[in-house]
Amino acid sequence: MTVSARFDVPGVDDFTRPYWEAAARGRLLLRRCREEGCGAVHHYPREFCPRCWGEDVVWAEASGRATLYTWSVVHMNDLPPFGERLPYVAAVVDLAEGPRMMTEIVDCPESALRVAMELRVRFRPVLETPLTETPLSVPVFGPG
């Protein structure tokens, strides 16, 4: 298991490695349950289904489409690297596949934000990844 030395850089381990490798290639993965009668899709990634508790769960590519559920514009944050991005929009989006995801909204003025606005996933490369060989990109969302 690899642990990040920075709080803003995700840790990559054997379980999450497919997620981060896909993100580095511009693909968003979710987890899908294959238990009979379930089929639930979930995010954040877990090794079991949070709906039926089944263990037959696989990675599945998401469409990248979402709608804005809620947001907050952050004007003060002195922790690096967030202070360099002020103001930024912390948000929760409803993915087209069903799960909600915490993220950031980019390339959209605050005045244009609306509940249920259509969004598309984008990926922000993490430039410093000191303790992992896996290139990291973080999913963010913008108008789409």
Q: What integer pLDDT is reported at residue 42 of this predicted model?
A: 97
Compute CA distances 54 → 30, 37, 44, 46, 59, whole Å: 16, 11, 16, 11, 14
- Cβ atoms of 95 and 43 closer than 8 Å: yes
pLDDT > 80? residue 4: no
Q: What integer pLDDT is reported at residue 130 of this predicted model?
A: 53
* pLDDT per residue as tens digits for the range 43-102: 999 999 999 999 999 999 999 999 999 999 999 988 877 888 899 999 999 999 999 999
* pLDDT per residue as tens digits for the range 89-98: 999 999 999 9
What residues contact 44, with CB distance under 8 A and at least 6 apart?
A: 101
pLDDT > 60? residue 27: yes
* pLDDT per residue as tens digits for the range 85-138: 899 999 999 999 999 999 999 999 999 999 999 999 999 998 665 555 667 899
Q: What integer pLDDT is reported at residue 3 of this predicted model?
A: 45
- The answer, as to whether pTM is greater than 0.75, is yes
Q: What integer pLDDT is reported at residue 1 of this predicted model?
A: 45
What's the mean pLDDT when you consider all of the chain?
A: 90
What residues contact 121, with CB distance under 8 A and at least 6 apart?
A: 28, 62, 64, 65, 66, 139, 140, 141
